[in-house]
Structure 1
Amino acid sequence: MYDIVIVGSGPAGSNLARLIGRKYKVLLIDKRELDNDNSKNHIDKCCGGLLAPDAQKMIAKLGLGIPKEILVDPQLFAVRTIDLTNNLERLYQRFYFNMDRNKFDRWLVSLIPEEVDKKFNSIFKSFSEIPGGYEVGYINRGQEISAKTKMIIGADGAFSRVRNFISKETNAPQEYIAIQEWFECPYNIPYYTAIFDEEISDFYSWIIPKENYILLGSALKPKDKAKEKYDALKTKLTQIGFNFDKKIKTQGAFIYRPTRVSQFYAGKDSIALIGEAAGAISPSSAEGISYALKSSLYLTQSLEDGIDGFLDRYKQKIKDIKLNLLIKNLKSPAMYNPFLRKLAMKSGLQSIG
Structure 2
Amino acid sequence: MYDVIIVGGGPAGATLARLLGRSRKVLLIERRYIKENGEGDFKKCCGGLVAPDAQRLLAEFGLGIPGEVLDGPQLFAVRTIDQGNNLERYYQRHYVNVNREKFDRWLLSQVSACVEVEDGSMFKNYMDFGKYVQATYLKDGEEIVATAKLLVGADGASSRVRRRLYPNKNGQRRYIAIQEYFRLTYNQPYYGSIFDKEITDFYSWTIPKEGYLVVGSALDPYNEPLKKFEELKGKLEGKGFDLGESFGKNSAYLLRPRGSREILTGKGRVALIGEAAGWISPSSAEGLSYGFKSALNLSGAIEENIERAATLYRKKSKSLYLNIKWKGIKSFLMYNDYTRHMIMKSGVMSMGSIKEKLAETGII
TM above 0.5, yes or no, is: yes
- Give the match for residue 70 of structure 2: 71
- Give the match for residue 137 of structure 1: 136
Partners of 1:214 and 1:263 lie apart in 2 by 34
Indicate conservation of the 8 Å contact 2:185/2:244, yes or no: no
TM-score after normalising by structure 2: 0.94
Deviation of 1:256 (Å): 0.4
Indicate conservation of the 8 Å contact 1:334/1:344, yes or no: no
- Give the match for residue 33 of structure 2: 33
Output aligned runs, 1:225-244, within 5 Å.
225-244=224-243
Superposed CA offset, 1:5-45 (max 9, x none): 10000000000000101211111000111114563x32211
Deviation of 1:325 (Å): 0.6
Deviation of 1:170 (Å): 3.2
- Give the match for residue 316 of structure 1: 315
Partners of 1:94 and 1:129 lie apart in 2 by 45
Superposed CA offset, 1:86-126 (max 9, x none): 11100011101001011000001111111111100000000
Indicate how the Cα distance of structure 1 residues 37 and 341 shifts in structure 2: closer, same or farther if over 3 A, else same: farther
Q: 2:300 is paired with a residue of what secondary structure?
A: helix
- Give the match for residue 109 of structure 2: 110
Query: Is the deviation greater in 225-234 or in 338-347?
Result: 338-347
Q: 1:193 is paired with a residue of what secondary structure?
A: strand
Gaps of 5+ in 1: none
Q: Which amino acid aligns with 2:325?
A: L
TM-score after normalising by structure 1: 0.97
Q: 2:351 is paired with a residue of what secondary structure?
A: coil
Indicate conservation of the 8 Å contact 1:264/1:278, yes or no: yes
Q: 1:303 is paired with a residue of what secondary structure?
A: helix
Query: Is the deviation greater in 74-83 or in 165-174?
Result: 165-174
Indicate conservation of the 8 Å contact 1:171/1:263, yes or no: no
* 1:197 equivalenced with 2:196 (yes/no): yes
Superposed CA offset, 1:204-240 (max 9, x none): 0000000111000000011110000000000111112
State the number of aligned residues: 352
Partners of 1:298 and 1:29 lie apart in 2 by 21
Gaps of 5+ in 2: 353-364
Q: Which amino acid aligns with 1:17?
A: A
Deviation of 1:311 (Å): 1.9
Partners of 2:158 and 2:130 lie apart in 1 by 28
Indicate conservation of the 8 Å contact 1:55/1:290, yes or no: yes
Q: Which amino acid aligns with 1:313?
A: L
Indicate conservation of the 8 Å contact 2:81/2:88, yes or no: yes
- Give the match for residue 306 of structure 2: 307
Identical residues among aligned pairs (%): 50
- Give the match for residue 7 of structure 1: 7
Q: Which amino acid aligns with 1:100?
A: N
Partners of 1:52 and 1:262 lie apart in 2 by 25
Query: Is the deviation greater in 7-16 or in 63-72?
Result: 63-72
- Give the match for residue 282 of structure 1: 281
Indicate how the Cα distance of structure 1 residues 178 and 160 shifts in structure 2: closer, same or farther if over 3 A, else same: same
The alignment's C-alpha RMSD in Å is 1.2
Partners of 1:129 and 1:278 lie apart in 2 by 18
Partners of 1:305 and 1:328 lie apart in 2 by 30
- Give the match for residue 159 of structure 2: 160
Deviation of 1:171 (Å): 5.8
Partners of 1:31 and 1:69 lie apart in 2 by 24
Indicate conservation of the 8 Å contact 1:171/1:262, yes or no: no
Partners of 1:234 and 1:73 lie apart in 2 by 22
Indicate how the Cα distance of structure 1 residues 146 and 106 shifts in structure 2: closer, same or farther if over 3 A, else same: same
Indicate conservation of the 8 Å contact 1:11/1:108, yes or no: yes
Partners of 1:325 and 1:306 lie apart in 2 by 26
Q: 2:255 is paired with a residue of what secondary structure?
A: strand
Deviation of 1:312 (Å): 2.1
Indicate conservation of the 8 Å contact 2:36/2:109, yes or no: no
- Give the match for residue 46 of structure 1: 45
- Give the match for residue 89 of structure 2: 90
Indicate how the Cα distance of structure 1 residues 345 and 61 shifts in structure 2: closer, same or farther if over 3 A, else same: same
- Give the match for residue 210 of structure 1: 209
Q: 2:72 is paired with a residue of what secondary structure?
A: coil
- Give the match for residue 21 of structure 1: 21
- Give the match for residue 297 of structure 1: 296
Superposed CA offset, 1:275-297 (max 9, x none): 01111000000000000000001
Indicate how the Cα distance of structure 1 residues 337 and 131 shifts in structure 2: closer, same or farther if over 3 A, else same: closer
- Give the match for residue 260 of structure 2: 261
Q: Which amino acid aligns with 1:349?
A: V
Indicate conservation of the 8 Å contact 2:130/2:268, yes or no: no
Q: Which amino acid aligns with 1:28?
A: L
Partners of 2:335 and 2:168 lie apart in 1 by 28
Deviation of 1:131 (Å): 6.1
Q: 1:76 is paired with a residue of what secondary structure?
A: coil
